[in-house]
């Protein structure tokens, strides 16, 4: 499911504001930089609005944003749809008791942590990040949420790198993206 396939007229403005930085953070990676999108208030608002339009009225009780760029879009979406926001952070960034999930990246390994008690059994969760590449980060986020009894309704990303087949790693969980990058 994708906004670009729905031919929403706002998509071109969003896509044109995403800068591609070659060989960052290491050689061979074509980094999709959304900081340039954030510099354009209309494109930034259109990005948030497209997600809000999709999720308003879907009984989402928690929006889980993946560090760090999921923290940019997730809270705005959560506020607009009346859900709580839960940050999924890198190791040793959250005080108190946490649960963790390790995962593979397209260029290494990492780990996500979440506060115990932030999400409750039966919460309907939306996972938000800026990009899906191999799918490892989204899978780790879904595992964290499901381990505490949440129902992950969907994952939402601004950008998909379809050549890396991350969508296929989500075990059939719906993924909504605004733009594709090849």
∠ CA 32-28-74, rounded to 5°: 25
106 is catalytic: yes
> For residue 147, how many other CB atoms are within 10 A of its CB?
12
Separation CA 177–CA 91 (nearest Å)? 27
Of how many residues is the chain composed? 182
> For residue 37, how many other CB atoms are within 10 A of its CB?
24
Catalytic residue among 17, 54, 69, 167: 69
Catalytic residue among 80, 106, 146, 180: 106
Residues annotated as catalytic are 69, 106
């Amino acid at each position: 499911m994708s906004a670009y396939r729905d031919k929403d007229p706002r998509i071109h403005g969003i896509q044109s504001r995403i800068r591609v930085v070659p060989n960052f953070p290491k050689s061979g990676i074509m980094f999709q930089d959304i900081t340039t999108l954030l510099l354009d208030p209309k494109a930034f608002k259109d990005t948030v609005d497209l997600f809000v339009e999709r999720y308003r009225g879907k009984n989402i009780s928690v929006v889980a944003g993946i560090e760090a760029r999921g923290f940019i879009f997730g809270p705005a979406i959560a506020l607009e749809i009346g859900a709580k926001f839960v940050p999924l952070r890198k190791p040793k960034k959250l005080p108190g008791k946490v649960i963790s999930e390790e995962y593979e990246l397209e260029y290494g390994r990492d780990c996500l942590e979440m506060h115990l008690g932030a999400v409750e059994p039966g919460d309907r969760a939306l996972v938000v990040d800026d990009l899906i590449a191999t799918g490892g980060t989204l899978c780790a986020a879904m595992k964290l949420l499901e381990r505490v009894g949440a129902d992950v309704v969907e994952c939402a990303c601004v950008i998909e790198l379809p050549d890396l087949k991350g969508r296929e790693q989500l075990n059939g969980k719906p993924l909504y993206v605004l733009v594709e990058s090849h």
